[in-house]
Structure 1
Amino acid sequence: MESFSHLVEVRWSDCDANQHVRHNAYADFCTHARIEWLRAHGFGFDQFQKHGFGPVIFKESTEYYKELKMSERVSVVVRIAGLSADGSRFRIRHDLCKEDGRPAALHEISGAWFDLRQRKLMQPPAELLAIFSALDRTEDFAEIPLKQA
């Protein structure tokens, strides 16, 4: 299994009136980290267009631990928390950590792959499933049953 971590810097536009990171910026950081993880493994936006599909998110949640402020650098570690046998369903966990290593937040998404032409859920191409299969898994990783779909 391989690990993936992406460093982001908190920008002015990521902050709210309380002078800390607004809640939905955490999701943006995690989305960016996932895109960078896939791109680093040769599955960028052009591959999604070529195959005519993309992710659909069913559930998203965030637990906040430490306040983040402008100009801080945040490490986003991407791990697989759940995957169906055919790769069609996934759960991804993101651990956001401050520069000193203290946890700032935990963000998790659950989703599936969506065929943009047929407008239905689908299995991913083999090369994408291989990328998901190679990523570090969480301690509580669980296979997602297909019958829940």
Structure 2
Amino acid sequence: MDSFRHTIEVRWADCDANQHVRHSAYADFCTHARIEWLRSHGFAYDQFQQRAFGPVIFKESTEYYKELKMSERVEIEVRVAALNADGSRFTIRHDLFKQDGRLAARHEINGAWFDLRERKLIPPPAELASIFAELARTDDFSVLESKS
């Protein structure tokens, strides 16, 4: 299993009055990295539209270690931190690294897959489940309990 890495450049719009990356930009960076991970494995946005489902995020958290500034390149590593048996619930960890390799932040999301027609949580289609199966696990990976 391999982790997925995606590099972005911090833009003017990503920064706040303190001249470093604003807190909500970290979540945007990580969302972009997740979408690129899925797209690079053949599961692009149109797949979600055609099947009328998508992710729902229950919780996001970010820990900040080193500040990021405008024009810096940031490498985001995406790994699975937790998953339940049918893949319907997940935790994804994003580690954001500065150009010098130091960890700048860690962002995690807890989510599930949501059927837009039936308005209920569902397991992912087999193609998406296999993409998750191929992604590297964190060292502290855990199996989530299934909720009814």
Task: State the TM-score bracket (shorter-chain normalisation).
Answer: over 0.9
- Determine the C-alpha separation between the residues in 2 that align with 1:134 and 1:122: 20
How far apart are 1:145 and its partner, in Å?
Answer: 0.7
- Tell me the SS of whatever aligns to 1:16: coil
1:4 maps to which residue?
4
CA distance in 1 between counterparts of 2:98 and 2:56 reads: 29
Q: What residue identity is the alignment partner of 1:93? A: R
In structure 2, what is the equivalent of residue 137 of structure 1? 137
The aligned residue for residue 115 of structure 1 is: 115
Cα RMSD (Å)? 0.6
**1:31: which partner in 2?**
31
Deviations 1:120-144 (A, max 9, x none): 1101000000000110000000011
Q: Distance in 1 between matches of 2:3 and 2:77?
A: 8
Distance 1:4 1:123 in 2: 22
Matched pairs, number: 148
User: Structure 2 CA distance, aligned partners of 1:142 and 1:52?
Assistant: 29
Give secondary structure in 2 for the equivalent of 1:95.
Answer: strand
- How much does 1:50 deviate? 1.1
2-structure distance, mates of 1:93, 1:2: 14
Report what 2:90 is aligned to: 90
Unmatched tracts of structure 1, length 5 or more: none
| Cα distance in 1 for residues equivalent to 2:3 and 2:60 | 22
Q: In the aligned structure 2, how far is the partner of 1:143 from the partner of 1:43?
A: 24
Q: Secondary structure at the match of 1:118?
A: coil
Please, what TM-score do these two structures have when normalized by structure 1? 0.98
Q: Report the AA paired with residue 102 of structure 2.
A: R
Q: CA deviation at 1:86?
A: 0.2
1:62 aligns with 2:62: yes
SS at match of 2:117: coil
Q: Which residue of 1 aligns with 2:15?
A: 15
What residue identity is the alignment partner of 1:100? D
